[in-house]
């Protein structure tokens, strides 16, 4: 396909595809899927070889969030039967992190529900970062605490944080259909604060909330403009008790096309398969490794993932290798481009608040033609997390 040859050439040169080219990737047929994966895989291997970076989530504070993001089981008014607990102590969080690190994780992601941290919360997380780093040489720590106030990103950096995650989630034009208690601009501001403080910016999206192809392309182009070092691609986990519990809009094939489009638009960025890969990619997860160079190991914040052992076996069986702590994730030009990494891929050169759209607003899914909703609901694959942080049971890592 001329389209794919063009996209490979652009990806190898770190050149931005046109919006029409990105949309065309999402519009390819299932008969063309392996060609799409092969093409995007060439770009992935150019910048990241066959390495897979492992990340491990620690939910520092679960549930009881005042925000109303529709996708989130921790949101205001959530009826999901998730674990609810207040802040883990630094030693508890460090113990939880150790399980993931023992399983091969290189980065620990410290997440707390809520609109954003108070200064006292920043102190708590700073103590936790220090406890983890004191006990684990070379570990990367990413914080994900919601909207940041002035000076908080700098304090986290001083405490030893390497990165900050705050996802854009969906396009600016449809953001109000998903969340009403904060704005898209609020999220952009937090990513910019993290970048300005010298933290490696991590920001991504959630697919499967009823968005159109145009919405997906919009948010990925917005992410490219923000220039994060890491782009997590989440696939909506429709948890019972949330407004989007009935949204089963994804097939494994569509997930692969979305990952390929992200790779073409962000060729030299760490693309991470985040929440929902087991639910929506299912047996096609190994193919996704040809597109993304990073995954979460084990469980997620409020739901369970496949076993850590299965993750490691999948990586090995697919012919990939786990990235070691001594290896640098990003290509050299991004590492040396400036504070926080810098993309080096344009001219001149991702968690957070949880919650739902107001009941009276039209759901985002109304924008998607009925014929596009072809995925069978797999509620059997959605399990609320009952182990690890906040419990007395061993974590999955």
Residues tagged active-site = 65, 69, 72, 109, 142, 202, 272
The conformation of residue 83, written as its DSSP 8-state character, comes to: -
Residue 109's nearest CA partner among 257, 234, 266 is: 234
The total of other beta-carbon atoms located within 10 Å of residue 320's CB is 18
Give residues with Cβ within 8 angstroms of 368, minimum separation 6: 210, 211, 212, 249
Phi/psi for 338 (5° steps) reads: 155, -175
**Alpha carbon distance 352, 354 (integer Å):** 6
| Distance (Å, whole) CA 94 – CA 88 | 9
DSSP assignment of 1-51, as one string?
-HHHHHHHHHHHHTPPPPHHHHHHHHT--GGGHHHHHHHHHHHHHHHHTTE
CA pair distance 12, 39, nearest whole angstrom: 11
């Amino acid at each position: 396909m001329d389209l794919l040859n063009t996209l490979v050439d652009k990806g190898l040169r770190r050149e931005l595809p046109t919006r029409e080219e990105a949309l065309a990737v999402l519009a390819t047929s299932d008969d063309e899927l392996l060609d799409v994966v092969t093409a995007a895989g060439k770009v992935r291997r150019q910048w990241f070889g066959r390495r897979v970076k492992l990340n491990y989530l620690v939910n520092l504070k679960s549930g009881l969030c005042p925000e109303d993001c529709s996708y989130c089981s921790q949101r205001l008014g959530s009826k999901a039967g998730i674990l609810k607990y207040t802040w883990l102590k630094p030693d508890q969080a460090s113990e939880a992190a150790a399980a993931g690190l023992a399983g091969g994780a290189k980065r620990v992601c410290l997440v707390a529900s809520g609109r954003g941290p108070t200064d006292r919360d920043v102190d708590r997380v700073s103590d936790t970062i220090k406890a983890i780093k004191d006990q684990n040489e070379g570990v990367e720590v990413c914080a994900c605490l919601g909207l940041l106030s002035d000076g908080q990103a700098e304090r986290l950096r001083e405490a030893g944080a390497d990165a900050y995650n705050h996802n854009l989630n969906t396009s600016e034009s449809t953001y109000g259909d998903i969340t009403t208690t904060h704005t898209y601009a609020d999220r952009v501001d937090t990513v910019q604060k993290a970048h300005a403080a010298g933290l490696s910016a991590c920001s991504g999206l959630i697919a499967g909330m009823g968005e159109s192809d145009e919405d997906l392309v919009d948010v990925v182009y917005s992410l490219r403009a923000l220039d994060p070092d890491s782009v997590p691609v989440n696939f909506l986990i429709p948890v019972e008790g949330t407004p989007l519990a009935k949204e089963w809009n994804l097939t494994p094939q569509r997930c692969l096309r979305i990952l390929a489009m992200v790779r073409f638009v962000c060729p030299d960025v760490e693309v991470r398969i985040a929440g929902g890969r087991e639910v929506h990619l299912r047996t096609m997860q190994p193919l996704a490794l040809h597109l993304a160079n990073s995954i979460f190991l084990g469980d997620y914040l409020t739901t369970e993932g496949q076993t850590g052992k299965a993750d490691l076996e999948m990586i090995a069986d697919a012919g990939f290798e786990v990235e070691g702590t001594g290896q640098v994730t990003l290509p050299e030009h991004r590492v040396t481009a400036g504070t926080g990494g810098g993309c080096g891929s344009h001219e001149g050169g991702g968690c957070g608040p949880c919650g739902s759209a107001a009941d009276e607003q039209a759901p985002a899914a109304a924008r998607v033609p009925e014929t596009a909703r072809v995925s069978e609901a797999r509620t059997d694959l959605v399990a609320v997390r009952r182990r690890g942080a906040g419990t007395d049971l061993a974590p999955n890592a």
